[in-house]
Structure 1
Amino acid sequence: MKDGVVLMYCMDGVLYPVALTNEQNEMLQMSSMLFQPLKVAFDKPQGQAINLMGGRKND
């Protein structure tokens, strides 16, 4: 997985990843540039990122 902004949904205090198409992900990455510089809390990791699409192409 590439470094970048991801979208998460919070329900009852639990974070769930939101699946995006390639086009949606590109728009999210471009939109995040509006908030540069991003303040990333590297000292507070939330867990390991995994690909839930199982290698499927995300179109």
Structure 2
Amino acid sequence: MEKLKKQRLERAGWTAGSARDFLELSDEETARVEVELELVDVAGRRAAARDPSLRSG
């Protein structure tokens, strides 16, 4: 997040943090989410390699 935007939000009473903090995830849960996100990324890259119409940008 941009520094100025973060400061503006904090002055308005908002807090900035991680998804882990917001969801109160344990170390194990955080690790699982990270693994799952990596698997989704790998699967997407493999699919895009097979089918060029799936490529982003």
Q: Give TM class, smaller chain.
A: 0.3 to 0.5
Q: Which is helix-richer, 1 or 2?
A: 2
State the structure with bigger RCO (CA 8 A, min sep 6), 1 or 2: 1
Larger Rg: 2
The TM-score, its normalising length taken from structure 2, stands at: 0.34
